[in-house]
Structure 1
Amino acid sequence: MKLPPMNALPVFEAVARLQSFSRAADERNLSQSAVSHQIRLLENYLGEALFERRGRTTRLTDQGQQFYETVYASLTALERSAEDIKGVPSTTVRLALFSSFAVRWLIPNLTSLHQDHPNLALQLEMTSESPILSDRVGDCFVTLHNDVPGYEYLPIYRETLFAVSSRQYWYELLQRQGCSSDAEPPLSILSKATLLSTHSIFDRDQEDWRQWYRANHSTLPDDIRLQNFSHMLLALEAARHHQGITLTNDYMVQDQRDTDLIRLPFLSYRTGDEFYFAYKSSRRNESAIQQLKQWMLSTCQKTGLR
């Protein structure tokens, strides 16, 4: 078996992760010249440059990124195997997930995780898009994708969108249009409102409202007032401050901050997106992952997502 210089691999992993030779030297208790020497040994062995050095910036090359994926996964697997043999199972688990799901659903429910599993240390890696399924990103994931081989996927939520606004905004709108709060309002009342649209739902401005109107057997009026936001968190915050009506989903209106919001009496519709809790099949028996999985599934059930 012909292996690369083994002493250089942890050094390479540190430089790649920290994107700095000096910080890697501090972490590994080495001199910066010793770190540079180990990286040169590895690059000479592979016959490829692993890093691009531009002034103070250190970045992986394409070949370096490919090699880092393998090195990180291998070193992590060795660490986990050694801990299992020593009888010291890891109590730390990294969960990569959408920032909106983390802020609006996970964090408000974390107290019960700490109560049920006080020794479990959860590290959150928040992303603006569905996270990449990789050991270097996280141990577990909340993702929209279920097609990466080697992972197990547990469905936790099918996204449904519905219209909300602040109570003040809605009742003032009803009053201006001469509508009773006890009667079902006509869809046409929205033509007098400002609609807050979220680009990230369908990666297209106003598409969320177009789909909503279609579900209500109508079309989005050309002259309706629309304000565009990049993220649902921003649109929901604008709605809370009486700026209009937005479309949101179940996990976004879970905690006590939303008592000033009201769900409007119109139809909801499914976007087609399904959220999964995912982890590597080869790691299914790890205690920390099992604890987080069981808590996640039961809490999604209790809060009405699942």
Structure 2
Amino acid sequence: MKLPPLKSLPVFEAVARLNSFSLAADELAVSQSAISHQIKQLETYLGEKLFWRSGRALTLTDEGRQYLDGISSALLQIERVSEQLLGHEESRLRLSVFSSFAVRWLVPRLPDLQREHPQLDLSLEMSSENPVLSDRVADCFITIKPSSAAFSYELLYTERLFPVCSQDYWQRIRRELGRDSEIEGRDEPALSPEEVSRFPLLSTHSIFDKAAGDWEAWYRAASQRIPGTARLQHFSHMLLALEAARFHQGIALTNDYMLSTRKDSGDFVRLPCHPVMTGDKFYFAWKTSRRREKGIQLLRRWLVGEAIQGGLRSEDEDN
């Protein structure tokens, strides 16, 4: 078996991860010259330059990035297998997850996860965009793009949007539409798109990556366009639009996981209106080569069970 100088591999991983020779030296408790020697030895063995150096700036070459992907995964595998043989029960995992999904759905459930699986040490890497599926980023992911053939995916949620407002604002809507004399309950007459447009529409840019894209889709589902008289207020993120709705500023479009756990979910009223499917599906993703890792499978089963129990997906729903 022909292997590279093994001592240089964790050095290379540390330098690439920290983007610094000096920081890597501090982390590994060696001198900076020792770090430089190990990197030079590895580059000589491979016959490839792994870093570009320009003054104090340090960047990976294309060959360096390609090598890091494989080395990071291999080192993690060695660490995991070694821990299993040593009898270490604790499983440390980094989960990259969308900020809204983390804040509104996952974080409130973490105490249950800790009680059920105390051996699982989970750290969250919050992302405002779809994460890059790589061991350098995290060990597992919640993603809407099952794009890498090297990963396996488990469906958690098929997204739909529906209009909500605060309890107080709902009473205002009922008064202005002359519904305050009607008995409020399950048989509430549906609001028409024209009636909805009489009130401020709180729009989230990030859902469709365009201004008013969420409300355009909602009206399009009713074969209509947003009326020219509609008052739109724009927000970059659904969390912001939902907060504006909670403080009685209008009607927002939100989804199931945003209202499924938090105690303040009772502050909102789901309007009697049609929903719209965004086309996004949320998956738990893990590298297929790591499918036998106990921690990943514990987390996968727990997430799927919580999604089913919370109504995000059905038990027999396919990916």
TM-score normalised by structure 1 residue count: 0.92
1:223 aligned to 2:229?
yes
SS of 2:10's partner is helix
Aligned twin of 1:92:
92
Tell me the distance in 2 between the aligned counterparts of 1:160 and 1:210.
14
How far is the alpha carbon of 1:292 from its aligned partner?
1.0
Report matched runs for 1:119-158 at 5 Å.
Answer: 119-158=119-158
SS of 1:192's partner is coil
1:278 aligned to 2:315?
no
Q: Which moved more, 1:91-100 or 1:216-225?
A: 216-225
How far is the alpha carbon of 1:164 from its aligned partner?
0.5
Q: Which moved more, 1:195-204 or 1:215-224?
A: 215-224
Query: Does the C-alpha gap of structure 1 residues 114 and 22 become closer, same or farther in structure 2, counting only changes over 3 Å?
Result: same
How far is the alpha carbon of 1:13 from its aligned partner?
0.6
Note the aligned Cα RMSD (angstroms).
Answer: 2.0
How far is the alpha carbon of 1:188 from its aligned partner?
1.8
Letter in 2 for 1:202: F
Count residues with an aligned counterpart: 306
Letter in 1 for 2:141: F
Aligned twin of 1:299:
306
Tell me the distance in 2 between the aligned counterparts of 1:110 and 1:277.
16
Tell me the distance in 1 between the aligned counterparts of 2:108 and 2:203.
25
Structure 1: stretches of 5+ with no match in the other structure: none
SS of 2:249's partner is coil
CA contact (8 A) 2:90 2:119 kept: no
TM-score normalised by structure 2 residue count: 0.89
Q: Which moved more, 1:294-303 or 1:186-195?
A: 186-195
Deviation string, structure 1 residues 260-300 (Cα, Å, up to 9, x no partner)? 11111101122121111122223222211121112111111
Q: Which moved more, 1:48-57 or 1:200-209?
A: 48-57
How far is the alpha carbon of 1:90 from its aligned partner?
4.7
How far is the alpha carbon of 1:56 from its aligned partner?
4.5
Aligned twin of 1:242:
248
SS of 1:9's partner is helix
Aligned twin of 2:239:
233
Tell me the distance in 1 between the aligned counterparts of 2:63 and 2:250.
49
SS of 2:13's partner is helix
Aligned twin of 2:213:
207
CA contact (8 A) 1:90 1:287 kept: no
What percent identity do the matched residue pairs reach? 52
Aligned twin of 2:21:
21
Q: Which moved more, 1:57-66 or 1:100-109?
A: 57-66
Structure 2: stretches of 5+ with no match in the other structure: 314-319
SS of 2:197's partner is helix
1:159 aligned to 2:165?
no
Tell me the distance in 2 between the aligned counterparts of 1:21 and 1:300.
43
